[in-house]
Each structure stands twice: as structure tokens, then as C-alpha cells.
Amino acid sequence: MPLSREQMLVEMGISPLWMLREPVSSETPEPVAVAAPVAPATPAQPVLPAPIAPPGAVAEFDWPALLAGIADCRACELCKQRRQVVPGVGDRNPDWLFIGEGPGAEEDARGEPFVGQAGRLLDAMLEALGMTRGNKVYIANAVKCRPPNNRTPEAAEMAACRPWLERQIVLLKPRVIVLLGKAAAHTILGNDSALAAMRGKRFEYAGIPVAVTYHPAYLLRNQFDKGKAWEDLLFARRLLRSGNT
Ligand code: URA
């Protein structure tokens, strides 16, 4: 039986709502910070093999070409240990795009992002907002292949993978992007600030409003920050609803 919204909030550890320490304004958020799309960072050392498809070509890809390109990608060392690529999942005409770090062991095995414990929390967060991953929601990662031992992807790996993500965003045309954790914020915004400093600010990528929040895996270890993540999701929803998209 599907959980009620109240049960979902309990599942996220953030119920009752009045326990939130900082009230959430219902005002349309002011534009605070705007980051232009950044050019892919050049790796400090040219140690990476050439991408299978030159970045210029990726910009022309449709979905089948994009998925085939990702499946064949050898642009960084992560390809060597993957069982399969994890391109992304969900509605290809989404309102929301969530971007995480990179696949873990379960995602590598199943070829779908966020299917492990962190994924179950992400699903609970979506349900608390009245959404599911297949309906107006798309989920992707900064890198499409599993980093060994679930480590954070390196900047050069995210840069190598970035043309795929950029093309996904162009094809998806989401109305709001939510960056889950610092790695995603780094690759999309080119912003290396502390995550706490990015929360609650309106960023922009290619004209699309962007919000930053904690990674669900972090929230599993830091239950008390779930309330802040809930605030961030409400903030993102206001960005979407402000029609400023
Ligand atoms: N963490 C991520 O960042 N992405 C996944 O797909 C799974 C866990």
C-alpha cells in the first residue's frame, strides 16, 4: 500500500513539519546567485584517453545516439571497472532533474541510478513532494560509471563525462535542476564552495534554475539534516513554480 505524505515525512525523519527550525518563506525567491554554464574543465594532466565521440558530435546526438555513446564511452579510467554504464532514468519530458555523484555497487549491477539505500531515501523525498521517479522526474549522475569503492568522482572524471550530462540536459529541458551534493554542484556550476553556503540560493545552468542540497547518502549518516534537505526541496519547488523557467 502506498505511504501517505505524512508517513513519507516520518520516513524521511522530518515529521512533524513544525519541528523545522527555519521557517520556509512562501515568497518567490529572489535571484541570488547566477552561475553561467561553465566550459568543461581541462584535466590538469592529459592522462585520459580520447572520448569515443568528440564533444562536438555529442552536441548533435538524439537519445539513441547519446545512450549508445555513453555505453561505449572510454573517456576516463572509470570505464575499466564498470559492469555497465548508468546513464540515467525517468521521464524524458521532466519538470525536475536530480543529479547525483556517480553509481554505486547496486547501480552498477542494475544500470539504474539511486537504487540502493540512498536511492530509497531519494524516492521517499520525491514521494513527500507527491512525485515518483518516472513521472516528471529524471535522475542522473555527474559520472555514468561507478567510481571504485564508491569514492567521490574526481574532477577530471566528471569533466570527461560532462558532455554526456550536458547533452542530457539539453534533450530533457527540465524546469528545475536539483544538485545532490558537492560533486554535482562542482560539475554543473563549477562551484567549489561549501555545500552549506550554496543551499537556499538560486543558481542557473543554461537558463534553468538550479538548487543545491545534501546528497541522500550524507543524509543517511546525518539524520538531523533531513529537515534542511526538505527545505531545499521546497525551495526548488518554488523556483519551478515561480514560472521563472
Ligand atoms: N549515489 C549517487 O550519487 N548516485 C547513485 O546513482 C547512487 C548513489
Task: Give distance in angstroms: CA of 177 to centre of ligand 1.
Answer: 16
C-alpha span between 130 and 231 (Å, rounded) = 15
List pLDDT tens digits, range 137-187.
999 999 999 999 999 999 999 999 999 999 999 999 999 999 999 999 999
C-alpha span between 98 and 89 (Å, rounded) = 10
Confidence of residue 4 (pLDDT cuts 50, 70, 90): low
List pLDDT tens digits, range 91-100.
999 999 999 9
Beta bridge partners of 100: 141
Position in ligand 1 atom list of the atom nearest CA 216: 1
Q: Return the pLDDT at 115.
A: 97
Whether the CB-CB separation of 177 and 210 falls below 8 Å is answered with yes
List pLDDT tens digits, range 25-39.
444 444 444 444 444
Burial pattern 107-116, b for ≥16 Cβ within 10 A else e, equals bbebbbbbbb
**Count of other CB atoms within 10 angstroms of residue 201:** 19
C-alpha span between 105 and 9 (Å, rounded) = 27
Please choose from 89, 139, 141 the residue to mutate so as to test ligand 1's pocket, defined by most ligand atoms within 8 A of CB.
Answer: 141
Give the CA dihedral 186, 188, 194, 196, nearest 10 degrees: -150
Domains by residue range for the chain, with CATH: 54-241 (3.40.470.10)
Q: Return the pLDDT at 183.
A: 95
List pLDDT tens digits, range 70-92.
999 999 999 999 999 999 999 99
Pocket of ligand 1 (CB under 6 A): 100-104, 107, 113-114, 116, 118-119, 141, 217
C-alpha span between 239 and 31 (Å, rounded) = 10
Phi, psi at 211, each rounded to 5°: -120, 155
